[in-house]
Amino acid sequence: MARILITSALPYINGIKHLGNLVGSQLPSDAYARFMRARGHEVMLICATDEHGTPAELAAAKAGKPVDAFCREMWQVQKDIADGFRLSFDHFGRSSSLRNRALTQHFAGKLFEAGLIEEVSERQVYSNADGRFLPDRYIEGTCPNCGYDKARGDQCENCTKQLDPTDLINPHSAISGSTDLEVRETKHLYLRQSAMRARLTEWIESKTDWPVLTTSIAKKWLNDGDGLQDRGITRDLDWGVPVKRGTEDWPGMEGKVFYVWFDAPIEYIAATAEWADAHGLPDSAWQRWWREDMGAGDVRYVEFMAKDNIPFHTLSFPATIMGSGEPWKLVDYIKGFNWLLYEGGKFSTSQGRGVFMDQALEILPSDYWRWWLLSNAPESSDSDFTWEAFQAGVNKDLADVLGNFVSRVTKFCRSKFGETVPTGGAYGPAEQAVIEAIAPRLKAYEGHMEAIEIRKAAGELRAIWVIGNEYLQSAAPWASFKTDPEAAAACVRFALNLIRLYAVLSRPFIPDASSAMLDSMKADDAWPGDLGAALAALPAGHGFSVPDNLFAKIDDATRLELEDRFGGRD
Confidence of residue 491 (pLDDT cuts 50, 70, 90): very high
Average pLDDT on 274-291 reads 98
**What percent of the chain is modeled with pLDDT above 70?**
99
Reduced to 3 states (helix: H, G, I; strand: E, B; else coil), residue 77 is helix
Its CATH class, for the domain covering 3-116+192-337, is alpha beta
156 is in an annotated binding site: yes
413 is in an annotated binding site: no
Identify which of 469, 398, 415, 413 has the alpha carbon closest to the alpha carbon of residue 438: 469
Confidence of residue 137 (pLDDT cuts 50, 70, 90): confident
- Report residue 159: phi and psi, to 5°: -110, -5
Identify which of 238, 547, 223 has the alpha carbon closest to the alpha carbon of residue 409: 547
- Give the number of C-alpha atoms closer than 13 A to the C-alpha of residue 504, restricted to the C-beta side: 24
Report pLDDT digits (tens) over 38-49: 999 999 999 999
Does the structural domain 354-570 have CATH classification 1.10.730.10? yes
Q: Mean pLDDT, the chain, as a whole number?
A: 94
> Looking at residue 225, what is its pLDDT?
64
Identify which of 77, 31, 157, 114 has the alpha carbon closest to the alpha carbon of residue 514: 31
d(Cα 87, Cα 85) in Å, to the nearest integer?
Answer: 6
Looking at per-residue pLDDT, the higher value among 255 and 460 belongs to: 460
Looking at per-residue pLDDT, the higher value among 180 and 123 belongs to: 180
Confidence of residue 226 (pLDDT cuts 50, 70, 90): low
Report pLDDT digits (tens) over 139-148: 999 999 999 9
pTM of the model: 0.92
d(Cα 73, Cα 67) in Å, to the nearest integer?
Answer: 10
Rg over alpha carbons for the chain, rounded to the nearest Å, is 27
159 is in an annotated binding site: yes
Identify which of 420, 173, 218, 184 has the alpha carbon closest to the alpha carbon of residue 317: 218
349 is in an annotated binding site: yes
Which has the minimum average pLDDT: 222-231, 232-241, 395-404, 463-472?
222-231
491 is in an annotated binding site: no
Q: Can you give the residue ranges of every domain in the chain?
A: 3-116+192-337, 354-570
Residue 535 scores a pLDDT above 90:
yes
> Looking at residue 465, what is its pLDDT?
98
Helical segments of 88-196, H only: 98-113
> Looking at residue 570, what is its pLDDT?
45
Report pLDDT digits (tens) over 434-469: 999 999 999 999 999 999 999 999 999 999 999 999
Average pLDDT on 267-276 reads 98
Angle, in degrees to the nearest 10, between helices 212-223 and 197-205: 160
d(Cα 89, Cα 77) in Å, to the nearest integer?
Answer: 15
Widest distance between CA atoms in the chain: 92
Report CA dihedral (570, 150, 70, 61) to the nearest 10 degrees.
-90
Report pLDDT digits (tens) over 295-305: 999 999 999 99
Residue 569 scores a pLDDT above 60:
no
